[in-house]
Amino acid sequence: MTSEISYRHNNPIGRLPILNVEPTVEAGRWAAKAFVGEVIPFSAVSFREGHDALGVELLLTNPKGDLSIKRMHAGAAGTDSWHTAVQLEDQGLWKFQIRAFSDEYETWHHNTEVKLAAGVDEELMMLEGVALFTRAAAEKDRKKANAKELVQAAEVLADQSHSPSARFAAALNVKLLKAIAEHPVRALETLSETYEINCERTLAGAGAWYEFFPRSEGAKYDSKTKTWKSGTFKTATKSLARVAEMGFDVLYLPPVHPIGEAFRKGPNNSLNAVGQDPGSPWAIGSTAGGHDTIHPDLGTEKDFAAFVKAAGALGIEIAMDLAVQASPDHPWVQTNPEWFTTRADGSIAYAENPPKKYQDIYPVNFDNDREGIYQEILRVVKHWISLGVKIFRVDNPHTKPVNFWEWLIAEINAEHPDVIFLAEAFTRPAMMHTLGKVGFQQSYTYFTWRNTPADLRDYLLELSRETAAYFRPNFWVSTPDILTQYLQYGGRPGHKIRAALAAMSTPSWGLYAGYELVESVARPGAEEHIDSEKYEYKVRDWDAAEQSGRSIASYVAKLNHIRRDHPSLGQLRNIEFHHSDDGAFLVFSKHISAEHSFTGEADTILVVVNTDPHAVRETTVRLDLTKLGLPAEANFEVQDLITGERYHWSSNNFVRLDAFDEPAHILHVVRTKKK
């Protein structure tokens, strides 16, 4: 008599357990992230009872519906982990499963080897082999040529005119092994659940960003009349060549909308603007319009569209700021006052982050009119998309409901899959991570405050290992708001160090205009720039800075050109760390195989950085050469991509780096030499 088996849950374990599948996000609640050209590591834990061999495969379906099967290899002994890596080359939704199976051939092969060596059950093992290959050859989905090799192997094993050992050796020829590799002999097949990977365009995961204020580009001050003339999109177009020469892919613009007059902030965030103080661009909205309007001082929509087109001709995409907030003068305040929070005294609540107060900004209350607010922001985003914008840098998304962002990004990407959203979220990890899970393609990070080698190493390991399936970091070395003490006191060496670290360690990085001029004077008592461009025009003499040697623009350009030339630097998950006897050095490498390299050749970059901006430091760098794709005892040649110098290296190398000259080695492994 049989009885029905009942389970306490709806997802019983399979015949062959398959656990800890990666990459997944919250067990498949959301699709994992990837970008075109990214090498994705797949892994799972799978095992079985007893000693019979186990096989594990990745079943990967591309956005067109084409299925590919890739055998996974076993991980470290005792872990029961299985691994493989695939470079995703098609944009769209990929699906995958892990398949575990009893590997009938490998089990027979192992048992036969052992028994032949011991001289027991020799003929029995030949019969077992005949039965195995005959059964496998008859499988319906096996190709004719493949089945032929199995039949021939069975015939060889059945020929008793030769010894069992001779028959075993003869049967396992190259053709048979190839046939088995192409189509394993599977039994007890078990499939995992189906998981998804959203593969987005390359710029969603790898690119170099630059930020400038259009109103400052071409702005002029008349000392006689003591008046300012704002820069425009037409004058800012002339600055595009500078951005392109430094090798940037994306130009991010702070809000370009009309700015409110009420409670307008003056220089250095003072409470009252005077005269021609232009105010903060994030205090959006005036009688001239709101989020769908260009500030009259900057030009017209036609001028903006021409600016976007001119940038595109130079290989630069424009990123628009999306700040869901309003000045007291915004049209929304008149047409939809219910979109804001009304306080007990009848006034509308302005933004506060005690003790800071932002009287020039009204936060939107998403719970007062969900449908109305959702549809209005959707309309605004689509408006700018219609003018050629495909990238949005979202201001403070962590101060808005997460479910709103999940809805908005899904709505936009369903119609416009190339649109990218960058979260400017400096907040708690749970919020930052969840914004990534629900759809944000990229996020600002804690890199700004990770300055020691130990902190950087730990953070990069977290980003490249623990959160890579859903959180894409963009390492900004500076913003209009943030000027860390490291940069305040690090001078030119500190700025070069931070740029090298950001550009070499992650696929996406960015900087705010003026960084290349080593602007580092702080507002007293704050980690902010003095005379912040957020509240005033800023005119910079780029040519004079270059001629006087104050600029590091050429260094930044070199970093970006190195990134473009070396495919290993376009990956996040491949960073590996090495040891230095001096704790002030950070040593890491990035390697990509020839199979996954757009050059068709393996690419290895080794980065050694003296993170002390005030000293010349010496150390011995101790390398794990297997992480460089090299034999453990190899001698090899490297070329410094900054200076052009070549060195002969091995596993242990003396390094001396002068922070005031070149604080970092960026080394390309050019060839190996036999010891």
Work out whether strand 195-200 and strand 32-35 pair parallel, antiparallel, or are unpaired. parallel
DSSP string, 207-241: EEEEE--TTTTT-EEETTTTEEE---HHHHHTTHH
At 153, give phi and psi (nearest 5°). -65, -40
**Would you say 612 and 656 are in contact if contact means Cβ atoms under 8 Å apart?**
no
633 labelled catalytic: no
Residue that the structure tokens 């797949």 belong to: 42
| 634 and 542 belong to one structural domain | no
Whole-angstrom distance, CA of residue 204 vs CA of residue 442: 7
* 125 and 81 within one domain: no
Same domain, 561 and 583: no
CATH of the domain at 81: 2.60.40.10
Question: pLDDT tens-digit profile of 258-312?
Answer: 999 999 999 998 998 998 999 999 999 999 999 999 999 999 999 999 999 999 9
* In the chain, % of residues over pLDDT 90: 93
Q: Are residues 489 and 515 in the same domain?
A: yes
In a domain, 526, yes or no: yes
Residue 526 scores a pLDDT above 90: no
Residues whose CB falls within 8 Å of the CB of residue 583, separated by 6 or more in sequence, listed in order: 453, 454
Whether the per-residue pLDDT at 369 is higher than 60: the answer is yes
Q: Is the pLDDT of residue 625 over 60?
A: yes
Q: Has residue 538 been placed in a domain?
A: yes
Residue 4's pLDDT is what?
62
Rounded to an integer, what distance in angstroms lies between the CA atom of residue 180 and that of residue 269? 71
CA neighbor of 603 nearest in space, from 570, 631, 632, 646: 570
Looking at the structure, tell me whether residues 79 and 114 fall in a common domain. Answer: no
d(CA 668, CA 608): 12
Say if residue 479 is in the same domain as residue 626. no
pLDDT one-digit tens code per residue, 444-482: 999 999 999 999 999 999 999 999 999 999 999 999 999
Q: Does residue 140 fall inside a structural domain?
A: yes
- Tens of pLDDT, residues 137-176: 999 999 999 999 999 999 999 999 999 999 999 999 999 9
Q: Quote the DSSP letter at residue 444.
A: -
Residue 490 — pLDDT band, cuts 50, 70, 90?
very high
**Per-residue pLDDT for 8 more than 70?**
no
Stretch 12-39: mean pLDDT:
96
Of 477, 474, 292, 510, the closest CA to residue 389 belongs to 292
Measure the CA–CA gap between 215 and 279, rounded to whole angstroms: 11
Express each pLDDT in 554-580 by its tens digit: 999 999 999 999 999 999 999 999 999
Q: What contacts 647, CB < 8 A, 6 or more positions away?
A: 637, 638, 639, 640, 653, 667
Do 240 and 179 sit in the same domain of this protein?
no
Band (12; pLDDT cuts 50, 70, 90): confident
pLDDT (mean) for 645-670: 97
Q: φ, ψ for residue 392 (rounded to 5)?
A: -125, 125
From 149, 52, 154, 58, select the one nearest 97 (Cα to Cα). Answer: 58
* Residues recorded for the chain: 675
Residue 110 belongs to a domain with what CATH number? 1.20.58.80
Instruction: Judge whether 424 counts as a catalytic residue.
Output: yes
pLDDT of residue 3: 52
Q: Which domain CATH number covers 632?
A: 2.60.40.1180
The rounded distance, in Å, linking the Cα atoms of 318 and 419 is 11
Domain boundary residue, one of 565, 581, 610? 565
The confidence score (pLDDT) of residue 5 equals 60
For residue 33, give the 3-state DSSP assignment.
Answer: strand
In the chain, the number of structural domains is 4
Going by pLDDT thresholds of 50, 70 and 90, the confidence category of residue 353 is confident
To 10 degrees, what angle do helices 122-137 and 104-118 make?
Answer: 160
Greatest Cα pair distance, the chain, in angstroms, is 110
Q: Do 93 and 141 lie in a common domain?
A: no
Contacts with 124 (C-beta within 8 Å, 6 or more apart), sequence order: none
Compute the Cα dihedral for 367, 370, 376, 382 and give only its sign.
positive
Tell me the residue type at 475. Answer: F
- Say whether pLDDT at 672 is over 90: no
Tens digits of residue pLDDT in 59-101: 999 999 999 999 999 999 999 999 999 999 999 999 999 999 9
Comparing C-alpha atoms, which of 460, 400, 450, 406 is closest to residue 424? 400
Residues 519 and 380 in one domain: yes
How do strand 186-191 and strand 92-103 relate by DSSP bridges? antiparallel
- How does residue 1 score in pLDDT terms, banded at 50, 70 and 90? very low
* Co-location of 392 and 449 in the same domain: yes
Q: Provide the pairing of β-strand 250-253 with 317-322.
A: parallel
- pLDDT reported for residue 525: 84
Query: Phi/psi zone of residue 212: left (φ > 0), alpha (ψ -120 to 50 degrees), beta?
Result: beta
* Average pLDDT of every residue of the chain: 95
User: What gap in Å lies between CA 664 and CA 185, rounded to an integer?
Assistant: 52
Mean pLDDT of 21-43: 98
> Catalytic pick from 80, 395, 516, 603?
395
The verdict on residue 338 lying in a domain is no
Q: Which residue in 38, 249, 321, 424 is the catalytic one?
A: 424
CA angle 577, 581, 583 (to 5 degrees): 75
Those residues whose C-beta lies under 8 Å from the C-beta of residue 36, and which sit 6 or more positions away, are: 88, 89, 90, 91, 199, 200, 201, 202
Give the separation between CA 446 and CA 444, rounded to whole angstroms: 7
In a domain, 342, yes or no: no
Verify that 539 and 572 share a domain, yes or no: no
Apex 421 CA angle, 415 and 422, nearest 5: 175
| Angstrom distance (rounded) from CA 317 to CA 307 | 10
Q: What's the distance, Cα to Cα, between the start and end of the chain in Å?
A: 71
DSSP code per residue over 138-203: T-TTS-HHHHHHHHHHHHHHH-TTS-HHHHHHHHS-HHHHHHHHHS--EEEEEE---EEEEEE-GG
**Whether the Cβ atoms of residue 465 and residue 573 lie closer than 8 Å to each other:** yes
Residue ranges making up the domain that contains 25: 18-101+192-200
Q: Are 549 and 576 in a shared domain?
A: no
Question: Would residue 152 count as lying in a domain?
Answer: yes
> Residue 456 maps to which CATH number?
3.20.20.80
Which among 565, 583, 604 is the end of a domain? Answer: 565
Residue 72 is assigned to a structural domain of this protein: yes
pLDDT band at residue 420 using 50, 70 and 90 as cut-offs? very high
In a domain, 274, yes or no: no
pLDDT of 675 above 60: no
